[in-house]
Each structure stands twice: as C-alpha cells, then as structure tokens.
Amino acid sequence: MKIVVIGGTGLIGSKLVHLLRQRGHEAAAASPASGVDTVTGEGLAAALAGADIVVDVANSPSFADKAVLEFFTASGRNLLAAEAAAGVKHHVALSVVGTDRLAESGYFRGKIAQEQLIRGAAVPYTIVRSTQFFEFLGGIVQSGADGDVVRLSPAFVQPIASDDVALAMADFTLGEPVGGIVEIAGPERVRLPELVRRWLAATQDPREVVADPGARYFGARLEDDTLVPGPGARLGAVTFEAWFARSRASR
C-alpha cells in the first residue's frame, strides 16, 4: 500500500515511516522539508497521487494560541480536501487524550478544530489520542518553571514513549478505519509532580517541584483525570526508567 505520512520527518513521523517500510509498505515522509506544506497546500496534490492511506502527525511550529488554531484549521482543510480528490481510503491522525476537556488551552483549541474537521469530512478516519510523550517532559517542565521551582498541577498523567506511539500508529494505520477515537497511553499512571521529580533527579536538575492545584497546563485547569485515558486504552510497554536509560544510552 502507498502511505503518505504528513509530518514524516518529526519525532513520531520518522519512526512511523521506518516501521511501515519494515512491514513492506511504500511509505513517504511529507513535510515542508520535502516541499509539501499542508498550510499553503503546496505540493499536496502531487504527494497524495496514488495514496491509499494518509497519516497526519504534523505539529504547529508555533505554540502561540492564534498560530496553532490557524495551523490545524488550514492544514486540516487542505489535507482532507486533497485526500478526497485523490481517493484516499483512510485518514489517521494523532491527537491528545483529553483534548475535548482542554478547551481553555489555545493549543488544544487547535487540536479540537483538527478533530472536528476530520469528523466532518468524507474520508474514513481513525483519530488516535495519545497521552504525553516522555520526550515532551522537558517542555512540561519549561511550561511550569518559575525561578528555582517548577509549579505543576497534581493531576494524574500516564505518559508514553514515542517508540510505543509509533508502534500503535503503525497498527492503527494498517487496520480498518475506526470512524472514531482510540486512546493510547503508557504503562504507569502517576501524579505529574511525582513524575517530574523523578525526571529532575535523573537529570541532576536541582529545581524543586511544587504541586499547585491552581497551576494550569498550557493554559487549562486540570482535574485529576483530565489527561488520563478511559478504560480500553492500548498501553505501551516502555516505563519511564526504561525510556530514560534508553534515551541516555543513545546520547
């Protein structure tokens, strides 16, 4: 099968392209680096010619509220129209667990818009909602950094390694369109400050973590279970410790 991976040069995209090729498929990475821009539409029709499946794992280069909304809106519209014209049979997108509960956040308003466009389009689809990647921990710490302390909501998280995300994406891509949402997460549910304490200790970062129920997550208030999946989620195998050891060894 011919599979086009939009954002195929990114963290998840590059791993997914590799896995799909290993499984014997023709997988192409499409992104601005290869002349395909879903926001302007440049190069899209040519990239999608003859494609059976399109996977969207692109991300907005800017996390500013307006920029994210514009990115996912323009990108989703252009991509789904080009897929309909090319006769694509399955659209697979990577979203975030709890997206519908996070509308106070500008980033998540962008993801909500992306999901709505997919649901309203004619192309059969699967929306895969993942929890936070371990690789994103640095970004979470940065968002809560306040001088010598890191201030974070005590909500639960269930983070997942990008390798497990790519494996799940490969399976859902090659499966039948679900016509709805599936959830994926890591093996362990833990409160966010506890996870970040472990990460700071492992990286010998002396900053103190303060659990603050008022601290927002990229602009959104969190309840205990906002970021964790419901029952039935597919769980990855890689724990925080295994991921950390592996990522340190590859440095």
Where do contacts with ligand NAP occur on this chain (CB under 6 A)?
A: 6-7, 9-13, 31-33, 36-39, 57-59, 61, 94, 96, 111, 130, 132-133, 136
| Ramachandran area for residue 218 (φ above 0: left; ψ -120 to 50: alpha; else beta) | left
What is the distance, to the nearest Å, from the Cα of residue 57 to the centroid of all Cα atoms in its chain? 7
Shortest distance in whole angstroms from residue 23 CB to ligand NAP: 20
State which residue has the least CB distance to ligand NAP. Answer: 10
Shortest Cβ 106–ligand NAP spacing (Å): 13
If you compute the radius of gyration of the chain from its CA atoms, what whole number of angstroms results?
18
Q: Which is nearer to ligand NAP, 162 or 206 (CB)?
A: 162
CB of 135 to ligand NAP, least distance (A): 7
Amino acid at 243: W
We find the least distance from the C-beta atom of residue 250 to ligand NAP, in angstroms, to be: 16
Which DSSP letter does residue 31 get? S
Residue 116's alpha-carbon distances to 121, 152, 178, 230, in angstroms, are 9, 30, 15, 20
Least Å distance, CB 173 to ligand NAP, is: 14
Nearer to ligand NAP, 10 or 144 (CB): 10
Query: In one letter, which amino acid is 211?
Result: A
Tell me whether residue 33 or residue 64 sits nearer to ligand NAP (CB atom).
33
Report the residue number, 31 or 153, with the smaller CB distance to ligand NAP: 31
| First vs last C-alpha separation in the chain | 34
Residue 21 or 208 with smaller CB distance to ligand NAP: 21
